[in-house]
Amino acid sequence: MVDYNLIEELGVSDLEVEELIREALGEQAATGDMDDLLQQDIENFQRGNILNGRVVGKAGDDVVVDVGLKSEGLINKSEFDNYDDLEIGSVVEVLLEELEDETGTVRLSKRKADRIRGWEKILETKSEDDVVEGKCMRKIKGGLLVDIGVPVFLPASQVDIRRPSDIGAFIGKTIQAVILKVDEERRNIVISRRRLIEKQREKAKETLLATIKVDDLVKGVVTNTADFGAFVDLGGLDGLLHITDMSWGRINHPSDMLKIGDEIEVKILTIDKEREKIALGLKQLQPSPWETIEERYPISCRVKGRIVNLVSYGAFVQLEEGIEGLVHISEMSWTRRINHPSELLNVEDEVEVVVLDISKEKHEISLGIKQTEVNPWELVAEKFPPGTIIEGMIRNLANYGAFVEIEPGIDGLLHVSDISWTEKISHPNEKFKKGDPVRCVVLDIDQEKQRVGLGVKQLTEDPWLHVIPAAYKPGMVVHGKVTKITNFGVFVELEDGLEGLLHISELSDQKVENPQDVVSAGEQLDVKILRVDVEERKIGLSLKRAKLSDEEPADEKGAPDAAKPIKGGVDEHGALGTDKIEL
């Protein structure tokens, strides 16, 4: 039976339907069951069905397609991949979207029909992990839309092994990938190009590790660069080309020589199959400039070079491409004390140097700048022989003495022990400050160690030879001032620059635990001289014996109270031995 409700829904009359059927089916309509044919055709012309259409013409940007209804449908040319080659009469599958739109035109879609057929074909022929091929159409949120017959999703993380900086570069390209997931209910497919590449690389890696050997020359593509080198894809496995193996010359960064995507030939240096690591070399393709280094740069020869780097301990000088030597900071000046090479040199400066030493195995050359000039220390002995009196300036102070500039670049050491014959000086700043002028005598010269010994006290006669022994004799009672108190005794200044030691045992007849219980700094005292040791330059004093002397008869005063120097411990008068106490 004919479904007249459906005929009414289509919006055509019985007569028109019959005429359409007759035109489409010809004489079969006259001899067949009209009701059956009508019912079957009505079912075919339902919205959402795929129909066979015939191209009957082109109108502007549209293709006119006849699907057997009372009017033709229009399909935009963008839905045809072969629009320019499309011929009248060609049969195409289209999706019936609307029997009649607001303009009375049948709405058809070839693209949607193609997608439905494509989806059906995919479900019939492909499953998860199968390889598919398609064209990247456009970027969508989180990845790319790829046409493999139907639009499928390629996540950005699955585009490549290393996520590209711009996945948009793949748009318009045809790629291969594997199916990760098929959702039939939602008609959604997720694919991965990365997984396919990983599978391919795994096979290639096995082949590579089984065939390559050390010293082989292989070709590869630079995949990445870092501060320490570049990674090169050898086909399934990346090898590391360290920055030190790129060139015999200096390279600041691998990107100065190589760029990602460059195809290069490299040499296999080492292979670690267990850890799947390969070390590569590029400079090894060229002869090493170090092979004949000793012939080109014999020791003591003078050469010119260019400063390429400054470090705290020296300067690197490029003699030629691939050959650099080090000028140590100590080899820059004979006389000047340099804290950093930048005080004398700048990068890119051209300098003359002398070759000092060569280590061919370590690829090292030691260079010197100061050796290009006469060593002024070779002339010091001639200009300032021992006994020469000089006038200089205090350039620096140290715990052990003062450095005196004899002439620019030449310093002498005034040791703390050579400042005064009589004063006990702990630090040179007690007598001098930086920048003070000073008059000295040259004591000795060590040309090899580049040292000049100076003295101030040697400008005058040693008072311990005659003056002090004549003025201070054992047994005399003298007047002095307490200058320093220690746990072992008291130092008493007898005159300017001359001190004696009043040992703790000589302070009182009673046992003294703390000298400060008896005397105080700055106090004036009368003390008795126990001994005068010219050799050790020390004077031993006694307070308790001075007090006894005041009580003795006049004819006994001034008589020497014998005290023989004792080399260790305390003598019979309580004076400390010379090897125990420094005056």
pLDDT tens digit sequence for 37-66: 445 455 566 777 888 888 888 888 888 888
Q: Which amino acid is residue 496, in one-letter code?
A: D
Residues 6+ apart with CB under 8 A from 33: none
Four-residue CA torsion sign, 34, 40, 41, 47: positive
CATH of domain 212-285: 2.40.50.140
Task: Report d(CA 324, CA 415) in Å as an integer.
Answer: 42
What CATH number was assigned to the domain covering residues 377-459? 2.40.50.140
pLDDT in the model for residue 35 = 52
Alpha helices in 134-242 (DSSP H): 193-211
Q: In CATH, what is the architecture of 126-196? A: Beta Barrel (2.40)
| 15: pLDDT strictly greater than 70 | no
pLDDT band at 19 (very low <50, low <70, confident <90, very high): low
Taking the C-alpha atoms of residue 473 and residue 471, their distance in angstroms, rounded to an integer, is 7
Whether 369 shows a pLDDT value over 50: the answer reads: yes
Angle at 539 between CA 535 and CA 540, to 5 degrees: 125
H or E element: which one contains 412?
Answer: strand 410-415
Alpha carbon 21 to its chain centroid, in Å, reads 84
Compute the C-alpha angle 344/346/348, nearest 5°.
140
Q: How far is Cα 345 from Cα 368, in angstroms, rounded to an integer?
A: 13
Q: Which residues contact 5 (CB under 8 A, 6 or more apart)?
A: none
Model-wide pTM > 0.85:
no
Output phi, psi for 170, to 5 deg.
Answer: -90, -10
* Token pair in block for residue 406: 């004899």
Topology of 293-372 in CATH?
Answer: OB fold (Dihydrolipoamide Acetyltransferase, E2P) (2.40.50)
Give the E-state strand segments of 486-572 in sequence order: 489-495, 498-503, 524-533, 538-542
Alpha-carbon distance of 381 to 384, in angstroms, equals 5
Amino acid identity of residue 67, one-letter, is: V
Note whether 263 and 220 are within 8 A (CB): yes
**Measured distance CA(395)–CA(417) in Å, rounded:** 18
Contacts of 113 (CB under 8 A, 6+ apart): 50, 93, 94, 95
Residue 555 has pLDDT above 60, yes or no: no
Strand-pair category, 174-183 with 389-398? unpaired
pLDDT averaged over every residue in the chain: 82
Q: In the chain, which segments carry CATH 2.40.50.140?
A: 4-113, 126-196, 212-285, 293-372, 377-459, 467-556
As a CATH number, domain 4-113 is: 2.40.50.140
Which homologous superfamily does the CATH classification assign to the domain defined by 467-556?
Answer: Nucleic acid-binding proteins (2.40.50.140)
3-class DSSP assignment, residue 114: helix
With vertex at residue 507, the alpha carbon angle to CA 502 and CA 510, rounded to the nearest 5 degrees, is 155
Confidence band of 10 (pLDDT split at 50, 70, 90): very low
User: Distance (Å, rounded) from C-alpha 446 to C-alpha 450?
Assistant: 6
